[in-house]
């Protein structure tokens, strides 16, 4: 990476510190010279702005409080049971300090011996920006030992910061306000741990070393739906299966039923082929309160759903319904039906119908996915395939092909050829018979995440070469000794 690129990334990581300090100095310089404390109108305006910011801060504290209390963290409240004053006006730190070990239960990340803190960020090298949003910016960095991680910090040029500065004109207070979303996310990542939730590697709250509050995450790559749509069905199924497992966990989490209020593909990343939730700042662990059934209506652009109001005055199950239908309309609809294995299409149709109409809950959906996964992985869905189909092929073990006459099929694991996953040589033979160009296929020891084999299909090759990890299957009717096949 060029020196200029590194400098730009580093500048993006630390920009908000310079930005905040300069605006802070300028704003107070303006107030001192314009007589803010002698002109009643200007002073009243300032007081109103400050009180408005205090209210916003207290609302953010209330939002985080349930997660902290569930972890045994209660010092946010003062002795009278009220929230403390806005600390940025008193030159003190907020009560919500994630660095204070007295605030952290035994399950929090600070108790993890592998925790990455501020010290490890001192000699980091910025690589590039992974993404940014209204509130936060994410950068890929290399730590001094060469480890690659993602840093998530407050985005000083983001919409949330800009709106706050416009409303309250207090850079320090606005940074404090906007950072609450990131603090909430850190707490949730500490409390909610699942294979399909991004792993929190650590955090840093050091305005000198790393520039304010920073979450240190395992590195993922933004979910690219267009690329995913072009991938084999097995990989798309993996994403959907991981998502359902995640939603099942969120419905029965240690914090209660968790709703993802901003459920969008952009809230997820891919890590080694696995879908992982990375944005939790808009998550809610409270089911909506209600007084009548009409209060429990779940509205979507094209249709609505409703639940009865419980005797406890809560829309029980609404969080789960919201998550499940969003999974259907953003993921299942695009990823699941297209090119599903013929023997599994009836199961796919059942899942699509159940989730699209919310006829079942997340437990039913997970069971349906796991049943389909078992059938696909074990090959039981291929029981009706005739075993005699493999007799049409001559097998040459310990060999591979060279000088291949490649042709493309879609979707393929190899974009320059035709490579598909199969359960056995019998399924590979069935596929080859269905492809007009196919005269042979090869099986190697390469396997997919399900344990299925990868088969390469060819329309011909020039000669065979020795390969102890490969087998070549040649159609007997296409074989012609002494000529290229």
Which helix (H) or strand (E) segment holds residue 155: the answer is none
**Residue 161 to residue 156: CA distance in whole angstroms:** 6
Coil, helix or strand for 220? coil
Coil, helix or strand for 402? strand
**Residue 146 to residue 142: CA distance in whole angstroms:** 6
**Residue 156 to residue 173: CA distance in whole angstroms:** 13
As given in the structure block, the two tokens for residue 270 are 């891919």
**Paired sense of beta strands 463-475 and 393-402, if any:** antiparallel
**Residue 243 to residue 237: CA distance in whole angstroms:** 10
Are 43 and 37 spatial neighbours (Cβ–Cβ below 8 Å)? yes
- Full DSSP string of 453-472: EEEEEES--SEEEEEEEEEE
Are 290 and 315 spatial neighbours (Cβ–Cβ below 8 Å)? yes
**Residue 361 to residue 366: CA distance in whole angstroms:** 9
**Residue 163 to residue 160: CA distance in whole angstroms:** 5
Burial class of residue 387, CB neighbours in 10 A (0-12, 13-18, 19+): exposed
- Residue-wise burial string across 38-54, b where 16 or more C-beta atoms lie within 10 A, e elsewhere: eeeeeeeebeeebeebb
Burial class of residue 96, CB neighbours in 10 A (0-12, 13-18, 19+): buried
**Sheet containing 440-447: which strands, arranged edge to edge?**
393-402, 463-475, 440-447, 453-458, 419-422
**Residue 56 to residue 177: CA distance in whole angstroms:** 7
**Paired sense of beta strands 136-142 and 125-132, if any:** antiparallel
Strands (E), 108-212: 125-132, 136-142, 148-154, 200-205
Coil, helix or strand for 233? helix
Is 262 part of the annotated catalytic residue set? Answer: yes
Question: Could you give the C-alpha distances from 421 to 341, 376, 401, 480, in angstroms and in order?
Answer: 11, 11, 18, 28
Q: Which of 160, 167, 206, 262 is catalytic?
A: 262
**Residue 156 to residue 182: CA distance in whole angstroms:** 13
**Paired sense of beta strands 213-217 and 200-205, if any:** antiparallel
Report, as residue numbers or ranges, the catalytic residues.
Answer: 262
């Amino acid at each position: 990476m060029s020196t200029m690129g590194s400098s730009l990334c580093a500048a993006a990581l630390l920009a908000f510190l310079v930005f905040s300090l300069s605006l802070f100095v300028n704003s107070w310089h303006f107030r001192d010279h314009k007589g803010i404390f002698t002109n009643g109108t200007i002073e009243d305006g300032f007081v109103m702005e400050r009180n408005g910011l205090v209210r916003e801060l207290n609302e953010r504290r209330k939002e985080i409080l349930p997660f902290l209390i569930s972890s045994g963290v209660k010092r946010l409240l003062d002795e009278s049971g009220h929230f403390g004053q806005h600390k940025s006006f008193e030159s003190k730190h907020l009560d919500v300090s994630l660095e204070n070990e007295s605030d952290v239960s035994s399950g929090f990340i600070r108790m993890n011996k592998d925790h990455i803190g501020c010290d490890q960020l001192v000699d980091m090298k910025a690589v590039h920006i992974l993404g940014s949003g209204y509130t936060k910016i994410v950068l890929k960095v290399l730590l001094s030992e060469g480890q690659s991680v993602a840093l998530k910090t407050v985005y000083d040029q983001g919409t949330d910061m800009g709106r706050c500065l416009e409303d309250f004109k207090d850079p320090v207070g606005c940074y404090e306000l906007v950072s609450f979303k990131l603090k909430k996310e850190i707490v949730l990542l500490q409390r909610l741990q699942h294979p399909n939730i991004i792993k929190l590697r650590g955090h840093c709250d050091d305005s000198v070393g790393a520039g304010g509050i920073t979450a240190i995450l395992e590195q993922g790559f933004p979910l690219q739906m267009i690329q995913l749509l072009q991938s084999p069905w097995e990989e798309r199924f993996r994403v959907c299966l991981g998502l359902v497992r995640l939603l099942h966990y969120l419905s029965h989490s240690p914090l209660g039923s968790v709703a993802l209020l901003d459920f969008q593909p952009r809230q997820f990343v891919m890590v080694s082929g696995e879908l992982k939730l990375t944005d939790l700042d808009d998550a809610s662990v409270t089911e909506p309160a209600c007084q009548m059934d009409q209060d429990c209506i779940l509205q979507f652009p094209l249709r609505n759903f409703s639940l009865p109001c419980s005797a406890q005055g809560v829309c029980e199950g609404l969080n789960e319904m919201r998550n499940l239908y969003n999974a259907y309309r953003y993921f299942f609809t695009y990823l699941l039906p297209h090119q599903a294995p013929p023997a599994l299409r009836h199961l796919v149709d059942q899942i699509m119908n159940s989730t699209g109409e919310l006829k079942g809950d997340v437990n039913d959906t997970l069971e349906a996915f796991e049943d389909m996964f078992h059938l696909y992985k074990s090959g039981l869905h291929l029981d009706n395939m005739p075993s005699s189909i493999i007799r049409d092929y001559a097998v040459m073990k310990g060999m591979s092909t060279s000088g291949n006459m490649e042709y493309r099929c879609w979707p393929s694991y190899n974009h320059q050829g035709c490579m598909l996953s199969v359960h056995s040589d019998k399924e590979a033979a069935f596929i080859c018979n269905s492809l007009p160009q196919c005269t042979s296929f090869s099986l190697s020891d390469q396997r997919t995440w399900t344990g299925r084999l990868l088969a390469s299909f060819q329309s011909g090759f020039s000669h065979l070469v020795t390969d102890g990890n490969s087998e070549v299957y040649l159609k007997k009717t296409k074989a012609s000794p002494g000529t290229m096949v």
